[in-house]
Structure 1
Amino acid sequence: MTADVKSWVRFVRWPAESKIREECRARRRLCLLVVEHGAPPPERIGLYEDWVRPPIVPEDLQARVSQLEARVVLNEKPVLDPAGILFFRDSSVTLSMLQCEILSPLISRYSQVVYRDELQKILEQCGASASSNAIDLHVLRLRRRLQPLGLTLRNVWGRGFTIEPD
């Protein structure tokens, strides 16, 4: 076990330290439950936790920890998967392929400005209308799709758009 693993993930004996597990859940802290000999594993596992039974090979432990750390990204930054599903925090929404094309640069430069002419080029490459009104219509539709996730597509006057948490 390395020092960086200890700083990110809390190791909790299950079920003996179930109260510590609840504290980790409330604080959204990464938690690896070490299931004690003979105890059943927890019935439900949250986004920020996983479980193992000892003894565990160091490589397997590191793989579990890496998976936990990767899950944290879902709370910090939206993730757009190749199937057209946008994940953010504990929610997801399915998008059209054109919406994915438009949203891709906004997510890759999260909280930074994406200029209107970039979106115009994307629309042209997709064979869609690239007029100013068309861009505004696509942005309006995207705003509606992103709202349930807690994301806002903001207009940066005279320049372009940025995507940010509410």
Structure 2
Amino acid sequence: MTADVKNRVKFVRWPAESEIREQCKVRGHLCLLVVEHGAPPPDQLSLYEDWVRPPIVQEDLQARVRQLAARAVLKSKPVLDPAGILYFKDSSVTLSLTQCEMLAPLVARYGQIIYRTELREILEHSGSSSSSNALDLHVMRLRRRLQVVGLAVRNVWGRGFVLEPL
């Protein structure tokens, strides 16, 4: 584990240092709560938190810290999980299967043009109509869903679409 990854994660004793946990939430720091002996774990965790009980094996600790560091990517780039949930910053939205299929290349090439023909092929493979009107309707519905998480699908006239922050 690199020092950079370990430095991005704050280790906080729970519940003794609950005020430090709150500061981490406000500042958007990654936080690994070390639950003290006999104390119950926290009821709810943010996306940027995890918890362990001591003693913890070094390999397990490293895995938890790496997982937390990987979540930090969500602050700057959207992530579409296999269950059909799109995460971006501190928000998430559940999408339909067709929306996920259309969004996958937009997320994979975030900030880059995805050509209309590529999205039309996705619609064809899913069994939906792939006409220009059908594609525009699917994009319109996708735009509405993405507003919730602060993302937009922008038209690149005559070429395709770009996924970007609002």
Pairwise CA distance, 1:42 = 3.2
SS at match of 1:77: coil
Q: 8 Å contact 2:86–2:93 — kept in the other structure?
A: yes
Structure-2 residue corresponding to 1:131: 131
Pairwise CA distance, 1:72 = 2.4
| Partner amino acid, structure 2, of 1:68 | L
Pairwise CA distance, 1:21 = 1.7
1:44-86 alpha-carbon deviations (Å, 9 max, x no partner) = 3222122223222101111211221233233332222333332
C-alpha distance 157-87 of structure 1, shift in aligned 2 (>3 A): same
Structure-1 residue corresponding to 2:163: 163
1:105-163 alpha-carbon deviations (Å, 9 max, x no partner) = 11111111101121122223333322222221111111111111211111112221011
Pairwise CA distance, 1:2 = 5.2
Q: 8 Å contact 2:123–2:129 — kept in the other structure?
A: yes
Task: Say what the alpha-carbon RMSD is for the aligned residues.
Answer: 2.2
The percent identity for this pair of structures is 72
Q: 8 Å contact 2:48–2:72 — kept in the other structure?
A: yes
C-alpha distance 83-43 of structure 1, shift in aligned 2 (>3 A): closer
Structure-1 residue corresponding to 2:110: 110
Answer yes or no: is 1:31 the counterpart of 2:36: no
| Partner amino acid, structure 1, of 2:34 | V
Answer yes or no: is 1:80 the counterpart of 2:80: yes
Structure-1 residue corresponding to 2:64: 64
TM-score, length-scaled by structure 1: 0.85
Paired with 1:2 and 1:123, the residues of 2 have a C-alpha distance of: 42
Pairwise CA distance, 1:38 = 4.4
SS at match of 1:155: strand
Pairwise CA distance, 1:39 = 4.1
Alignment length (residue pairs): 166
Kindly report which structure 2 residues correspond to 1:131-150, keeping only aligned pairs within 5 A, or say none.
131-150=131-150
